[in-house]
Chain A
Amino acid sequence: ETGVTQTPRHLVMGMTNKKSLKCEQHLGHNAMYWYKQSAKKPLELMFVYNFKEQTENNSVPSRFSPECPNSSHLFLHLHTLQPEDSALYLCASSQDQTGGGRAYGYTFGSGTRLTVV
């Protein structure tokens, strides 16, 4: 148990489907992150939320839509994805995004393995 729970663990979806990834943490953290991990590529930061406000969007295509209803929950809504979007999607949390918060490091979930067919 890592403290950050991601569901589902595996997801297969067609290019016309709509699905959502869920991330939940009860660590009292105030910053949450979505990362994409593709084979043979470095970790790609997608979105950052700090105290429920989106603070970063790293030029992510609009077919990925994040939602952060509170500091404990983070969603990634997916629609009309492409096969190249197949990857491991990792959620992480930290105390906060700034100052001392970044010194504590991140707690990651186990990820959602997404396959787009």
Chain B
Amino acid sequence: AQSVTQLGSHVSVSEGALVLLRCNYSSSVPPYLFWYVQYPNQGLQLLLKYTSAATLVKGINGFEAEFKKSETSFHLTKPSAHMSDAAEYFCAVSDVSDKVIFGPGTSLSVIP
């Protein structure tokens, strides 16, 4: 059965610092992987996705994520945090069962 873990339910970074949000998955087959962002009182918005093409995936708002099969990871990074990046971030995995499993989410705070 597939599953998603996100290390750290809350992450704080200073404005301008590196953002690193961790995601590990378990799947019996090569999965599709996604990162979503949720701003307060909004729905989830797709940031980026991995679908077995390039392992380094670039998304919107300067975010990127790298698929590492050996580590079963899909960590999300951004070189320089901006105040507007403060939000909840969800990692999700989908495999041949057609089910999409969302992680529990990581709340990102950006300190001025």
Contact = CB atoms under 8 A, between A and B. Distances in A.
Interface of A: 2, 4, 6, 42-43, 90, 92, 97-99, 102-111, 113
Interface residues on B, range: 10 to 19
A108 B43 contact: yes
B94 to A, nearest CB: 5
A2 B38 CA distance: 12
Nearest to A41: B104
A99 B51 CA distance: 12
A50 B44 CA distance: 20
Interface of B: 32, 34, 36, 41-46, 49, 51, 90, 94, 98, 100, 102-105
Contacts of B98: 97-99, 102
A102 B100 contact: yes
A73 to B, nearest CB: 17
A90 B44 contact: yes
B94 A102 contact: yes
* Interface SS, B side: strand
A110 B32 contact: no
Given A98-B98, A113-B41, A107 B46 contact: yes
The 5 closest A-B CB pairs, nearest first, are A108-B43, A108-B44, A105-B46, A43-B102, A103-B51
B100 to A, nearest CB: 6
Nearest to B105: A42
Contacts of A103: 32, 49, 51, 94
Given A102-B32, A102-B100, A105-B34, A4 B43 contact: yes
